[in-house]
Amino acid sequence: MTKKTKEILVTLILIIVAAALLSYNVFLVETTKIEVERIMGQLAKIEEIKEETKEKKMELLKQQKEEEYVEIIEFDEKYREIKDDFLKKVKEASDEADGIFINIEGLKGLVSQRLDISKEFKEKLSKLDNIPRPLKNFYELETEFLNNDIKSFILVYDYYSSCCSTHPYNDGELKKVYGNNSELFFRAEEERVRVYKEHGLEYLLEDPF
């Protein structure tokens, strides 16, 4: 092989290598371009799914809010009926005892009457079903108040019964339980007010008395 032939052969090899490298670079660029487009497409799809999920969540929250709104109104209608009856009977019992001199047996009778009023209210409250989720805490507080209220009047009844007994009566527990009544009552009411205002239902808080 002559020197010139060798030079030509080397030149041809270099041209082939250069062409191959050029072709590879073009292939690499095209492949990279396709891969980038694929990734961008996936990212766009992910963003689309995220946006759809966000919209669905917003729609679900809106539906939940509307359902809770209706549930609270329906619950309030039933609750208001038994609560108004309770307050009315408490007021009547209080008016009956106001300014009237009553003996011990008469006082025990009034306390027993007041005790029955709370027991009746608690029984009716316990029969209310489908407590709205936002009002569950209120329901628990109202039940706690009634349990305390019942206990306080049981202790008051025992106190008046002890007046006819030779055994001394320890009124420490009575003072503690009776003292908790107002606090528990207002805690329950504050929670109800908070929930109603949060749902734009302030008109339901109007006091019938």
Stronger pLDDT, 209 or 93, i.e. the higher one: 93
The set of residues, in sequence order, having a beta carbon less than 8 Å from that of 178 and lying 6+ positions away, is 152, 155, 156
DSSP assignment string, 128-174 = --S--GGGHHHHHHHHHHHHHHHHHHHHHHHHHHHTTSSS----HHH
Domain annotation covers residue 157: yes
| pLDDT, tens digit, 9 for 90 and up, residues 32-69 | 666 656 666 666 666 665 565 555 545 555 566 778 88
- Residue predicted with more confidence, 18 or 105: 105
**Could you tell me if residue 187 is inside a domain?**
yes
How far apart (Å, rounded) are the C-alpha atoms in residues 94 and 117? 12
- Total number of domains constituting the chain: 1
Residue 88 to residue 82: CA distance in whole angstroms: 10
Is residue 24 a part of any domain in this protein?
A: no
**Token pair of 74 as six digits:** 């329906």
pLDDT in tens, 166-195: 555 667 787 888 788 889 999 999 999 999
* Residue 105 domain flag: yes
Number of H helices, E strands in the chain: 4, 0
The whole domain housing 195 covers 67-205
Residue 173 lies in a domain: yes
| Separation in Å, CA 180 to CA 89, 107, 116, 151 | 21, 22, 19, 11
Asked if 68 contacts 133 with a C-beta cutoff of 8 angstroms, the reply is yes
pLDDT level of residue 99 (50, 70, 90 thresholds): low
Identify which has the larger pLDDT, 91 or 48. Answer: 91
Residue 62 lies in a domain: no
**pTM higher than 0.85, yes or no?**
no
Say if 3 falls within a structural domain. Answer: no
Domain contains 163 = yes
* Predicted local confidence at residue 209, as pLDDT: 43
For 131-142, how does the pLDDT look when each residue is reduced to its tens digit (9 = 90+)? 999 999 999 999
